[in-house]
């Protein structure tokens, strides 16, 4: 590889909002035949907004419960939590006794003898909190609209009685560029996959809207990395595109790692390429650039 060709490639990348850290990823890029995309913040805007909030309790307790919900989400760094605190802006904070973040699930806290849960259905199931059938149906309806459902629940001090207090729907619009970019990659013979920590129903709806047929939901950070490893064992050269802390393991495992700008600092640290644009069409552009660079080299 001539250093000049690499320098030209890196320079051209910069002109196109593609920051390339090393020669190696520029050289491997053109051999990529599998691309793994994270959903939230990569395929979607990553700016979730609460569209619905249904309380299951009435009157008297409600203001206090809203404070508890607000406080729990104020202490979480998850983008969904920010959507909730924005929705409940100007709510007062309470002082929680404990607070715990559960990866891929949500958050829990103890407050005045009771335990509170904010997160997905798995968080409730694993804590043996029953969701009424009517709410399960409500969740499916929202998930079919590509929304993510968040439950707010409480278990009373004795540990016997528990109830769902509220259910929220959160929308995270798909980027305008996603469908086109994915189609471009597929038409170049590249297999495209979507991974997400989100639930299966929402994941399937989003994947369907952008034309991805292979999707894995409920993925923990290690699952994402294992999936990349599986593809590599099957002989694929894999590019992983993500934006979050929970993508960084998979990005470290991949042959080419691409961070979406405005993602977490950790993702950008790990990534060998960073797209300083939210436009997914930069991905086929980056691979094209690699092809041109290598052509010059040979
Ligand atoms: P991803 O970024 O791919 O969605 P995460 O592992 O960060 O994956 O989150 C997985 C799921 O856990 C979310 O989709 C959400 O359902 C739930 N979750 C995590 N943190 C929170 C939170 N603070 N509030 C509500 N739900 C949460
Ligand atoms: Mg993400």
- The rounded mean pLDDT for the chain is 93
Counting ligands in written order, the one closest to the CA of 108 is: 1
Residue 264 has pLDDT above 80, yes or no: no
290 lines ligand 1 (CB under 6 A): no
Tell me which of 220 and 1 has the higher pLDDT.
220
As a whole number, mean pLDDT of residues 206-230 equals 97
pLDDT the model gives residue 60:
79
Would you say how long the chain is, in residues?
Answer: 298
CA of 90 to the centre of ligand 1 (A): 23
Q: Give 135-184 pLDDT, tens digit per residue.
A: 999 999 999 999 999 999 999 988 789 999 999 999 999 999 999 999 99
pTM above 0.90, yes or no: no
Tell me which of 67 and 291 has the higher pLDDT.
67
Residue 298 has pLDDT above 60, yes or no: no
Angstrom distances, CA of residue 130 to CA of 50, 124, 139, 155: 23, 7, 14, 11
Q: Give 14-62 pLDDT, tens digit per residue.
A: 999 998 988 889 889 999 999 999 999 899 998 999 999 999 988 778 9
244 lines ligand 1 (CB under 6 A): yes
CA distance 141 to 232: 37
CA of 198 to the centre of ligand 1 (A): 6
Domain annotation for the chain: domains and CATH numbers: 3-46+174-297 (3.40.50.1000), 49-171 (3.40.1110.10)
Cβ atoms of residues 284 and 184 within 8 Å: yes
Look up 38 and say whether it is catalytic: yes
CA distance 137 to 129: 16
pLDDT the model gives residue 215:
98
Q: Give 181-197 pLDDT, tens digit per residue.
A: 999 999 999 999 999 99
Best residue for ligand 1 mutational test, from 80, 169, 264 (most atoms within 8 Å of Cβ): 80
User: What sign does the dihedral 90-91-92-98 (CA atoms) show?
Assistant: negative
ipTM reported for the complex, 2 dp: 0.94
107 lines ligand 1 (CB under 6 A): yes
| Protein residue with its CA nearest to atom 21 in ligand 1 | 106
197 lines ligand 1 (CB under 6 A): yes
- Beta sheet of 238-242, edge-to-edge order: 18-20, 273-275, 256-260, 238-242, 34-38, 191-195, 214-216
């Amino acid at each position: 590889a001539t250093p000049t060709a690499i320098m030209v490639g890196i320079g051209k990348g910069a002109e196109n909002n593609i920051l390339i850290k090393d020669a190696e990823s520029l050289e491997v890029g053109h051999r990529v035949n599998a691309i793994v995309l994270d959903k939230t913040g990569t395929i979607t805007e990553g700016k979730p907004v609460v569209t619905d909030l249904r309380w299951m309790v009435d009157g008297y307790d409600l203001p206090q419960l809203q404070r508890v919900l607000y406080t729990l989400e104020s202490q979480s760094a998850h983008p969904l939590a920010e959507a909730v605190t924005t929705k409940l802006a100007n709510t007062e904070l309470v002082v929680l006794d404990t607070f715990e973040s559960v990866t891929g699930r949500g958050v829990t806290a103890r407050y005045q003898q009771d335990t509170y849960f904010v997160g997905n259905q798995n968080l409730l199931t694993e804590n043996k909190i029953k969701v009424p059938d009517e709410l399960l149906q409500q969740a499916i309806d929202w998930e079919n609209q590509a929304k993510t459902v968040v439950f707010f629940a409480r278990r009373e001090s004795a540990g016997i009685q528990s109830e769902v207090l509220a259910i929220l729907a959160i929308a995270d619009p798909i980027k305008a560029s996603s469908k086109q970019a994915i189609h471009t990659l597929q038409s170049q013979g590249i297999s495209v996959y979507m991974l997400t920590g989100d639930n299966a129903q929402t994941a399937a709806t989003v994947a369907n809207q952008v034309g991805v047929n292979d999707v894995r939901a409920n993925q923990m950070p290690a699952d994402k990395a294992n999936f990349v490893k599986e593809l590599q064992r099957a002989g694929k050269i894999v590019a992983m595109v993500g934006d979050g802390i929970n993508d960084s393991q998979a990005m470290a495992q991949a042959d080419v790692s691409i961070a979406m700008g405005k993602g977490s600092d950790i993702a950008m640290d790990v990534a060998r390429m960073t797209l300083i644009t939210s436009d997914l069409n930069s991905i086929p552009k980056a691979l094209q650039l690699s092809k041109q660079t290598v052509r010059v080299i040979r």
